[in-house]
């Protein structure tokens, strides 16, 4: 095995390793990463996944998105390099969401990080894992501290015995949401696969049909949605390519070989860049409701060079069914929508076409050209669209709108129920349903109706439990407000002051 020269990491990176660690703050970690030679990486992340209007929306650790993509692929191993607490949380979350695969971990301490030994440990782990009889690819993910310390994954070999090696940096201080972290790995894999295909013959995708013109969907979808979209495209002589993120390596070749790429989730910036580099046109939005489906089919037809008469035939086959499904299940409710999956605008469009009043939709993802059609459509109907929405913005919008139902993240749902507003967790209850075509048109009405019927019950519960569980009323079995022992708070305040003074003297 070739030995790489070790160099001491810069002082800023060393301070991250030995002092503040991953709690140093965004600015400190970003500065350390740049000082350690990661300026190009940080600039690319900032360009692909811009911040704002505030620093970062609240979501789970962004690296979960990349971890999820790797764990869902066949014959792909994933190794994490980061603080033990982060690795524990990520692996716990991945198994909670159904992963049934080992997650590799390369531990480190201040010495191995500062001296460069961590990189050698990572290289050894990759060589031990990269067995062609087991894997097509090995993914190694730098979390916050290794990224901030400049651990150079780009120095790893590109392949070992035919097993592809893909190293990526997914720091929480550089990737705003876990949704966008999916794109970090998906884009890196597409780039690798595109370079392979441009260099010579590659493995034939399992489901590939010679001469078939396909559309590649970009984004994780409910399993029934691709089948529904495929049925819409069939009258136009188009079939579906494997989705991005892919389920196995050879699917990447088939996706890149598509006629048109459809960014149904609009935040896959790196993936879209690879499709464009392969010469594939990309369209935005998705086939939601009558108007959304009609516009999307027209966009696909134009991009694929299909005659208008053929596109019209496809519309005639699907639009009446969608119109009938919407008419059979109208939604008469005021609904606010928020989440961090990237499909929030599409869900809001579907609700609006079904008859709901949607005053607000917030998404933790950024504004891109691929969601412009949805934004314009919603704003023309009086909906406020908030990109990079924070929890505080979502809650403020919910308080102002007083909806019959709030769709959002877990903390928003909690706040809504405290206020007596029916609410549903977007990820588990909305993303887990079909969204496109006739199936999508009828999917939302039932859950909206079931939840809004319970508003009176929520009001009774709020009234019944008023004051219970709040700070001075917490506990069980008290008839009166609990009373602190005499002098308790004053003693505790003096103890905290003395402790702070002692720590300050030690620090100096």
Nearest to 59 by CA among 368, 385, 469, 344: 344
For the chain, what's the residue count? 508
CA distances from 399 to 58, 420, 421 (A): 19, 11, 9
Say yes or no: 165 and 19 in one domain: yes
CA distance 452 to 421: 9
HEC string of 360-396?
Answer: EEEECCCCCHHHHHHHHHHHHCCCEEEECCCHHHHHH
- Of 148, 176, 204, the residue that ends a domain is 176
Question: Is 492 inside any structural domain?
Answer: no
**Six-digit token string for 288:** 């939601």
pLDDT < 50: residue spans in the chain? 1-8, 18, 507-508
CA distance 441 to 445: 8
Say yes or no: 387 and 315 in one domain: no
Question: Is 252 inside any structural domain?
Answer: yes
CA distance 369 to 375: 10
Question: Is 287 inside any structural domain?
Answer: yes
Say yes or no: 122 and 18 in one domain: yes
Say yes or no: 362 and 420 in one domain: yes
So what's the pLDDT on residue 372? 96
Tell me the sheet residues that pair with 338: 362
Say yes or no: 242 and 150 in one domain: no
Tell me the sheet residues that pair with 361: 337, 385
So what's the pLDDT on residue 113? 86
Say yes or no: 416 and 288 in one domain: no
Domain carrying residue 282: 213-323
CA distance 433 to 264: 15
Nearest to 46 by CA among 169, 139, 197: 169
Say yes or no: 339 and 291 in one domain: no
Predicted confidence (pLDDT) per residue in 2-43, tens digit = 333 444 455 555 555 545 556 667 788 888 889 888 999 999
Question: Is 446 inside any structural domain?
Answer: yes
- Of 323, 356, 373, the residue that ends a domain is 323
CA distance 231 to 425: 30
So what's the pLDDT on residue 8? 47
CB 301 within 8 A of CB 236: yes
The count of domains in the chain is 3
**Six-digit token string for 85:** 């607490």
Q: In what order do the strands lie in the sheet with 76-81?
A: 104-105, 76-81, 137-142, 163-169, 159-160
Q: Identify the CATH number of the domain in which residue 252 sits.
A: 3.40.50.1980
So what's the pLDDT on residue 3? 38
So what's the pLDDT on residue 9? 52
| Per-residue burial over 98-125, b = 16 or more CB atoms within 10 Å of its CB, e = otherwise | ebeeebbbbebeeebbbbbebbbbbbeb
Hey, CA dihedral for 477, 478, 484, 485, is it positive or negative?
Answer: negative
Say yes or no: 312 and 345 in one domain: no
Residue 142 phi/psi, 5-degree rounding, is -80, 125
**Six-digit token string for 266:** 């609009």
So what's the pLDDT on residue 7? 45
Predicted confidence (pLDDT) per residue in 362-375, tens digit = 999 999 999 999 99
Residue 80 phi/psi, 5-degree rounding, is -105, 140
Tell me the sheet residues that pair with 424: 407
Residue 404 phi/psi, 5-degree rounding, is -75, -25
């Amino acid at each position: 095995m070739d030995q790489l020269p070790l160099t001491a990491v810069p002082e800023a990176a060393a301070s991250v390793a030995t002092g503040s660690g991953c709690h140093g703050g965004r600015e400190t970690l970003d500065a350390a990463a740049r000082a350690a030679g990661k300026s190009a990486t940080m600039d690319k992340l900032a360009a692909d996944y811009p911040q704002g209007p505030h620093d970062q929306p609240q979501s789970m650790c962004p690296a979960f998105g990349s971890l999820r993509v790797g764990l869902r692929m066949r014959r792909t191993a994933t190794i994490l390099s980061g603080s033990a607490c982060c690795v524990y949380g990520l692996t716990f979350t991945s198994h909670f969401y159904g992963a049934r695969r080992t997650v590799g971990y390369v531990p480190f301490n201040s010495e191995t990080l500062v001296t460069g030994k961590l990189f050698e440990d990572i290289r050894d782990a990759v060589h031990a894992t990269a067995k062609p009889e087991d894997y097509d690819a090995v993914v190694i993910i730098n979390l916050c501290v290794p990224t901030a310390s400049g651990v150079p994954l780009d120095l790893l070999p590109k392949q070992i015995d035919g097993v592809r090696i893909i190293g990526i940096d997914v720091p929480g201080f550089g990737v705003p949401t876990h949704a966008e972290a999916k794109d970090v790995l998906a884009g890196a894999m597409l780039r690798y696969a595109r370079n392979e295909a441009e260099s010579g013959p590659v493995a034939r995708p399992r489901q590939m049909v010679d001469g078939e013109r396909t559309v590649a969907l970009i984004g994780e979808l409910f399993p029934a949605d691709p089948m529904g979209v495929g049925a819409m495209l069939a009258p136009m002589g188009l079939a579906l390519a494997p989705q991005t993120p892919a389920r196995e390596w050879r699917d990447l070749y088939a996706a890149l070989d598509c006629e048109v790429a459809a960014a149904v989730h609009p935040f896959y910036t790196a993936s879209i860049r690879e499709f464009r580099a392969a010469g594939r046109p990309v369209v935005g939005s998705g086939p939601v409701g009558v108007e959304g489906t009609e516009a999307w089919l027209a966009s696909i037809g134009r991009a694929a060079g299909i005659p208008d008469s053929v596109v019209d035939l496809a519309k005639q086959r699907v639009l009446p069914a969608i119109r009938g499904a919407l008419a059979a299940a109208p939604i008469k409710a005021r609904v606010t929508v928020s989440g961090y999956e990237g499909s929030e605008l599409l869900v809001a469009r579907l609700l609006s076409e079904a008859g709901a009043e949607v005053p607000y939709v917030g998404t933790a993802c950024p504004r891109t050209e691929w969601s412009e059609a949805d934004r314009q459509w919603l704003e023309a109907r009086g909906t406020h669209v908030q990109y990079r929405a924070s929890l505080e913005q979502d809650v403020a919008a919910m308080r102002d709108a007083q909806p019959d139902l709030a769709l959002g993240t877990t903390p928003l749902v909690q706040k809504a129920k405290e206020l007596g507003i029916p609410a549903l967790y977007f990820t588990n209850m909305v993303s887990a349903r079909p969204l496109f075509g006739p199936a999508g048109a009828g999917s939302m009405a039932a859950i909206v109706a079931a939840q809004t019927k319970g508003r009176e019950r929520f009001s009774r519960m709020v009234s019944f439990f008023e004051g219970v569980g709040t700070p001075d009323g917490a506990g069980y079995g008290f008839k009166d407000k609990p009373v602190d022992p005499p002098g308790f708070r004053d003693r505790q305040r003096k103890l905290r002051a003395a402790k702070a003074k002692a720590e300050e003297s030690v620090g100096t």
